[in-house]
Amino acid sequence: MPKSDRKVNGAAIELKNVTKLYPNQQEAAVENFTMSISPGELIMLVGPSGCGKTTTMKMINRIIEPTIGSITIDGEDVLSLEPNALRRRIGYVIQQVGLFPHMTIAQNVSIVPQLLGWTKEKQRERAEELLTLVELDPGQFMNRYPKHLSGGQQQRVGVARALAADPPVMLMDEPFGATDPITREKLQLEFVRLQESIGKTIVFVTHDFDEAIRLGDRIAVLGPKSRIEQFDTPAMILANPASDYVRSFIGEGAALKRLALLRVDSATLGPADAVRSGSASVRLSDNLREALDHIVLSGGHPVAVADSEGKLVGSLSVELISEALGADVTRLGK
């Protein structure tokens, strides 16, 4: 389920017994796939190359037609709709971005609104609004061409374009995979912020389990033919992997990854006077992994904890982080 404090502006998606069998192939690419997605939920599909995760996602907007099974969006059968009309109602972001090089950024963002018959004034207003939302100054970027943008900036334009007609559903296929690690992490953090404000229903394909943990409300770990090995929240998968196959995706350091999912305010705080003068501080809304990093950098001393106004409200030590995690963090790397 989506986070309770998030604005919800999405639609429910239901896939039932969906199978894709390509011509002249004896085995299905996707077999008997069933999943229910709540409005405003961000679902991560994780699995190795060739397992069928991208095929599964593309059947939702019928870029790939399912062989059998049913797919509904807010109860409406997508197979009963004209494919191009369906796709205009679903935002789609891919790794290669696919911006048209001969069009300005404003024109790229306005492609679907233009197809829907919006006035030029309304198109421009929407482009300005969305570029601001993805933190690209419209005054600087509206009239530029894609070749003048960095890879990270082009990805933001791709997200803005997918949001242009305010679709209830977004499909994202490795959207940050082509960027360098620093840009990728920044885009992931900005995307988390963006989803908090837009609350779309998002199906996001990735092979990167750390990305899935960072972004997803729930993660579906997929095996061959998109068989669901485990479908749960990041915290539950890290704490209780269903099989050795799922553990192989989690990799080393599951407990440390869990720290990144726990906020500072989930821990019991120590007294404020336990903090050394000049100590670094964390906010209640930060995660325990960030707090632990500060403690390590300070030589193991407790870190100060401040509220949203910057007021000191307590301290956090290694022992208190261990208590919140339910494991001794000093032994996690051993």
Regions in the chain scoring below 50 on pLDDT: 334
| 3-state SS record for 32-87 | EEEEEECCCCEEEEECCCCCCHHHHHHHHCCCCCCCEEEEEECCEEHHHCCHHHHH
Q: Which of 137, 135, 152 is nearest to 197 (CA)?
A: 135
pLDDT, position 252: 66
Amino acid present at 83: P
CATH architecture of 13-258: 3-Layer(aba) Sandwich (3.40)
The pLDDT, as a whole number, for residue 329 is 75
Interaxial angle between packed helices 318-325 and 288-297, expressed in degrees from 0 to 180 and rounded to the nearest 10: 150
For position 334, what pLDDT does the model report?
45
Token output for 196: 């908090």
At residue 171, the pLDDT reads 94
- Every domain of the chain and the residues it spans: 13-258, 263-331
pTM for the predicted model, two decimal places? 0.81
Q: How far apart are CA 288 and CA 275, in angstroms?
A: 17
Q: Are strands 228-232 and 281-283 parallel, antiparallel or unpaired?
A: unpaired
Q: What is the pLDDT of residue 204?
A: 95
pLDDT tens readout for residues 50-97:
899 999 999 999 999 999 999 999 999 999 999 988 988 899 888 777
pLDDT at 144 (0 to 100): 93
Q: What is the mean pLDDT of the chain?
A: 88
Can you state the angle between helices 181-198 and 120-133, rounded to 10 degrees?
120
Q: Which CATH class is domain 263-331?
A: alpha beta
Q: What is the pLDDT of residues 84-135, one digit of tens each?
A: 889 888 998 887 778 899 999 999 999 989 988 899 999 999 999 999 988 8
